[in-house]
Amino acid sequence: MKEKIRWILSHREKKFIRDENRSPAAVLVPIYEKEGEYYLIFTKRTQKVNHHKGQISFPGGAYHQEDKTLSVTALRESFEEIGLNPQDVEILGELDDAITLSSNYIISPFVAAIPYPYKFSVNQDEVAEILHIPVAALLDRTHFRQEQHLFHGQPFTTYFYEYNGKIIYGATAGILKLFLDLVFES
């Protein structure tokens, strides 16, 4: 699977978003295999964080000048949030940039293979829970819906994934949909 993901992501052109009014950020899209099934890691954010309180997201956050690159941002934030050591992460490629409407970020997502089992260490100020969601459940269309909205007069689609009472939406769901469409629907 790692080779398939790496090949797909390296044989397409990433869509970059450039907007001086938005701040750069990066997330890791961690995937692992357990007993022949693939899982993605998400975090449920605490009520203590500045943005996206209580939402489900990929590990990641805002770019810092000392990061040098957005992949370093994704790795640093994943380590800070869930204790995922950068040395244990194999970045397989990048997905298209995404924006957040409420917090004004441009998110660069990095797909990464991680080992299983793994001993995570949760930063309880930022992360309320780590979610291990099977890809098969996310591909089940009964757990997916989309809605059309207007933002500043422009139409856009919002995606929603539901798993065990947890709802993934917003930029995270958009990143997730692109990943699933590219890797598992092709």
| Among 102, 97, 83, residue whose Cα is nearest residue 149 | 102
Q: Is 46 exposed, middle or buried (0-12, 13-18, 19+ CB in 10 A)?
A: middle
The better pLDDT of the pair 49, 61 is held by 61
| Among 47, 51, 45, residue whose Cα is nearest residue 23 | 51
Q: What is the spatial distance between Cα 88 and Cα 113, in angstroms, rounded to a whole number? A: 9
Q: What is the spatial distance between Cα 103 and Cα 91, in angstroms, rounded to a whole number? A: 26
Stretch (H or E) spanning 56: strand 56-57
Average pLDDT in the 40-44 region?
A: 97
Q: What is the spatial distance between Cα 141 and Cα 125, in angstroms, rounded to a whole number? A: 34
| Among 169, 170, 150, residue whose Cα is nearest residue 161 | 169
Q: What is the pLDDT of residue 186?
A: 61
Q: Does the N-terminal peptide bond of residue 117 adopt cis geometry, omega within 30 degrees of 0?
A: yes
pLDDT tens readout for residues 120-173: 999 999 999 999 999 999 999 999 999 988 877 888 889 999 999 999 999 999
pLDDT tens readout for residues 91-126: 999 999 999 877 889 999 999 999 999 999 999 999
Q: What is the spatial distance between Cα 69 and Cα 139, in angstroms, rounded to a whole number? A: 32
Question: Is pLDDT of 43 > 90?
Answer: yes
3-state secondary structure of 45: strand
Instruction: Please answer whether residues 22 and 98 qualify as being in contact, where contact means their C-beta atoms are separated by less than 8 angstroms.
Output: no
| List of domains in the chain | 2-136 (3.90.79.10)
Residue count (the chain)? 186
| Among 7, 22, 174, 151, residue whose Cα is nearest residue 92 | 7
Taking CA atoms, 19 is separated from 24, 68, 97, 151, 159, in Å, by 9, 19, 11, 16, 23
